[in-house]
């Protein structure tokens, strides 16, 4: 995870669901497979086709896998104008383009029209879809240790009993510039790196994919993880309002829609206390897991119920009073924070009742020189600098990233026959270009405020009152705390009756819920049931 913009998230990948075997697109050969990204017009669609099978719930599913690219352009691109352009024309339309890489899995023998298709993507921004692909729902899954560092290669790639291919065809999509996706042309970063530009690129990809594989009449789903939930909210509205494309469901994993809620660096935004409120239940779950609470702590669910109530009532009211908080009331809150987090009273006082994520990760197990994980607080690792104020790295990311990246690089070349001579970029640093300003529904321009796509998801739900939304979250996630997602959903500007369209599921895992085997099974079962009940 990249810390400079700590509100940015890790990954989410896109799964696409199809049914009957789609028509095979011709392979473009090595020249296209190694397309130069130095100038616009260099990209051509590429496909590599293979066959496989996966066993899910004791049932074998045969599938066709297609690894390939589709070319998309920024908003304002006019393909007719480009085709008719003659020398000397003053063409101010954008010239940048993106070659977006995907891996699609189509179950054989199922009619396409009735077969759901799910687009999955990770987040970052700047992350490929390798995490969802190799860890969650692809037909093969890499094996990693549950809450410890996974030893170096060779890694174990196994049949994924929890692949979503039993419920939907899957399309894993790499965001522009990540994975095997590439961008080119004038102002290419400006054209694709930003909340609104990114949502448009994914909308273009999805509509082109539906056309290319004749899937316009299939039930359609988005599955976004981390920043991918931000993308999904913005994308759902773009598809509705600009492409007349209804979705059957939007599935969110480890949600962040309002960046004012992030517990990464909230001290730079004084007066906004919600980050401390929504992170407290995760602090408590983490302290419970690492045995930092009292001698007889309650069961996890009982603890979280009490902490959620305290967070949204006495704690929130106390923080809202700021310097006017009476000493006696302050002492009660300090005591409760100590009880629920295991942090020393003196430390809580020094932090003015407000502890950000990085400080908690560094401090909770500081007595043993141990840093607590961010993406999954069940993980721990040696502290880099014992004198640092906050965590210098994420032990969970360090523990499993090599397994995911190494295994995918082998799998995509050996099994999917794609990528010879190309570098796969699991994550890229886009923050020097990324435009976090966003133009929400009803605004005439991008707003000079923290990014917030809650209005986008709300508008999509109001435009299509049948749209169903599913929120999945791990109790041990400090990148996007689970209660943050609940808080955001409860504050969506939608009619009360539409709240019934939202499903909430939590798991005893972290940001990458699927990194815990029991949670992966529960995630599969819940998502499969959601898809099965919404088409």
**pLDDT tens by residue, 356-386:** 999 999 999 999 999 999 999 999 999 999 9
Strand segments, DSSP code E, in 270-424 are: 370-372, 380-382
pLDDT for res 78: 78
Kindly report the length of the chain.
535
At 81, the pLDDT band (50, 70, 90 cuts) reads: low
pLDDT digits (tens, 9 = 90+) for 425-475: 999 999 999 999 999 999 999 999 999 999 999 999 999 999 999 999 999
Using CA atoms of 194, 200, 206, 208 in order, give the dihedral in degrees to the nearest 10.
-120
- The answer to whether residue 86 scores a pLDDT higher than 70 is no
pLDDT digits (tens, 9 = 90+) for 486-503: 999 999 999 999 999 999
pLDDT for res 83: 53
- The answer to whether residue 9 scores a pLDDT higher than 60 is no
Average pLDDT for the chain: 91
Distance between CA atoms of 345 and 336, rounded to whole angstroms? 10
Alpha helices in 269-326 (DSSP H): 274-289, 300-310, 316-321
pLDDT for res 220: 98
Read off the DSSP letter of residue 139. Answer: S
- The answer to whether residue 16 scores a pLDDT higher than 80 is no
Distance between CA atoms of 421 and 409, rounded to whole angstroms? 12
Q: Which of 38-42, 451-455, 457-461, 521-525 has the lowest mean pLDDT?
A: 38-42
Its pTM stands at 0.91
| Average pLDDT, integer, range 501-519 | 98
pLDDT for res 82: 57
In what helix (H) or strand (E) does residue 71 lie, and over which residues does it extend?
Answer: strand 59-72
140 SS3 class: strand
| Average pLDDT, integer, range 273-286 | 98
pLDDT for res 41: 59
Give me the DSSP letters along 202-244.
Answer: HHHHHHHHHHHTT-TTS-EEEEEEEHHHHHHHHHHHHHHHHH-
CB atoms within 10 A of CB 37: 17
pLDDT for res 80: 65
pLDDT for res 15: 31
- What pairs with residue 98 in β-bridges? 72, 183
| Average pLDDT, integer, range 182-210 | 97
Could you tell me what percent of the chain has a pLDDT over 90? Answer: 86
Could you tell me what percent of the chain has a pLDDT over 70? Answer: 90
The single residue listed with the structure tokens 């509100």 is 7
- The answer to whether residue 1 scores a pLDDT higher than 60 is no
Distance between CA atoms of 128 and 281, rounded to whole angstroms? 30
pLDDT digits (tens, 9 = 90+) for 99-155: 999 999 999 998 888 899 999 999 999 999 999 999 999 999 999 999 999 999 999
Hey, which CATH number is domain 32-77+98-258+401-430+453-532, 3.40.50.720, 3.40.50.1820, 3.20.20.140, 1.10.1040.10? 3.40.50.1820
Count Cα atoms within 13 angstroms, Cβ side, for 107. 31
pLDDT for res 85: 54
CB atoms within 10 A of CB 108: 14
Alpha helices in 290-394 (DSSP H): 300-310, 316-321, 327-341, 345-350, 357-363
- What pairs with residue 56 in β-bridges? 59
379 SS3 class: coil
| Average pLDDT, integer, range 505-531 | 98
Distance between CA atoms of 280 and 261, rounded to whole angstroms? 12
At 21, the pLDDT band (50, 70, 90 cuts) reads: very low
Contact 130, 406 (CB under 8 A): no
Give me the DSSP letters along 20-63.
Answer: SPPPPPPP-HHHHHT---SSTT----EEEEEEEEEEETTEEEEE
Q: Which of 104-113, 273-282, 374-383, 400-409 has the lowest mean pLDDT?
A: 104-113
What are the sequence ranges of the domains in the chain? 32-77+98-258+401-430+453-532, 266-393
At 342, the pLDDT band (50, 70, 90 cuts) reads: very high
What the block records as the tokens of 380 is 């721990």
How many helices (H) and strands (E) the chain has is answered by 16, 15
Distance between CA atoms of 249 and 236, rounded to whole angstroms? 9
CB atoms within 10 A of CB 91: 12
By C-alpha distance, which of 130, 166, 224, 146 is closest to 519?
146
């Amino acid at each position: 995870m990249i810390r400079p913009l700590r509100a940015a998230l890790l990954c989410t990948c896109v799964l696409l669901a199809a049914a009957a075997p789609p028509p095979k697109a011709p392979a473009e050969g090595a020249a296209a497979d190694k397309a130069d990204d130095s100038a616009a017009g260099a990209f051509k669609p590429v496909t590599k086709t293979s066959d496989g099978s996966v066993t899910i719930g004791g049932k074998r599913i045969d599938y066709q896998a297609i690894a390939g690219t589709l070319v998309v352009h920024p908003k304002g691109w006019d393909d007719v104008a480009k085709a008719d352009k003659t020398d000397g024309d003053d063409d101010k339309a954008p010239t940048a383009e993106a070659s977006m890489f995907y891996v699609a899995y189509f179950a054989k023998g199922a009619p396409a029209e009735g077969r759901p298709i799910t687009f999955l993507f990770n987040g970052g921004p700047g992350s490929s879809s390798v995490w969802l692909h190799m860890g969650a729902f692809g037909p093969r899954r890499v094996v990693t240790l549950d809450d410890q560092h996974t030893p170096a290669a060779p890694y174990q790639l196994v049949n994924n009993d929890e692949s979503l291919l039993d419920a939907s065809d899957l399309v894993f999509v790499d965001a522009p510039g990540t994975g095997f996706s590439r961008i080119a042309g004038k102002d290419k970063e400006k054209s694709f790196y930003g909340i609104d530009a990114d949502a448009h690129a994914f909308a273009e990809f999805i509509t082109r994919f539906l056309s290319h594989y004749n899937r316009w009449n299939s039930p359609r789903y988005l599955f976004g993880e981390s920043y991918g939930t931000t993308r999904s909210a913005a994308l759902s509205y773009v598809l509705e309002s600009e492409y007349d494309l209804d979705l059957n469901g939007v599935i969110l994993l480890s949600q962040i829609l309002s960046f004012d809620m992030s517990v990464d660096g909230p001290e730079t935004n004084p007066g906004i206390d919600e980050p401390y409120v929504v992170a407290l239940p995760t602090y408590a779950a983490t302290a419970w897991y690492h045995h930092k609470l009292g001698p007889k702590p309650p069961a996890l669910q009982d603890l979280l119920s009490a902490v959620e109530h305290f967070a949204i009532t006495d704690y929130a009211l106390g923080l809202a009073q700021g310097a006017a908080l009476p000493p006696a009331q302050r002492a009660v809150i300090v005591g409760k924070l100590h009880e629920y987090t295991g942090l020393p009273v003196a430390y809580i006082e020094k932090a003015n009742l407000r502890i950000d994520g990085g400080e908690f990760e560094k401090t909770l197990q500081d007595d043993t020189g141990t840093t607590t994980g961010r993406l999954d607080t069940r993980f721990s690792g040696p502290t880099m600098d014992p004198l640092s104020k906050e965590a210098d790295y994420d032990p969970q990311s360090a523990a499993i990233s090599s397994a995911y990246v190494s295994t995918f690089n082998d799998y995509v070349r050996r099994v999917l026959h794609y990528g010879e001579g190309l570098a796969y970029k699991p994550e890229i640093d886009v923050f020097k270009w990324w435009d976090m300003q966003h133009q929400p529904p009803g605004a005439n321009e991008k707003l000079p405020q923290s990014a917030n796509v809650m209005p986008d998801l709300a508008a999509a739900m109001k435009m299509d009152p049948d749209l169903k939304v599913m929120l999945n979250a791990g109790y041990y996630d400090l990148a996007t705390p689970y209660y943050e997602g609940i808080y955001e959903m409860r504050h969506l500007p939608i009619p009360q009756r539409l709240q019934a369209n939202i499903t909430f599921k939590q798991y005893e895992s972290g940001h990458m819920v699927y990194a815990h085997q029991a949670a992966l099974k529960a995630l599969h079962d819940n998502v499969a049931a959601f898809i099965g009940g919404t088409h």
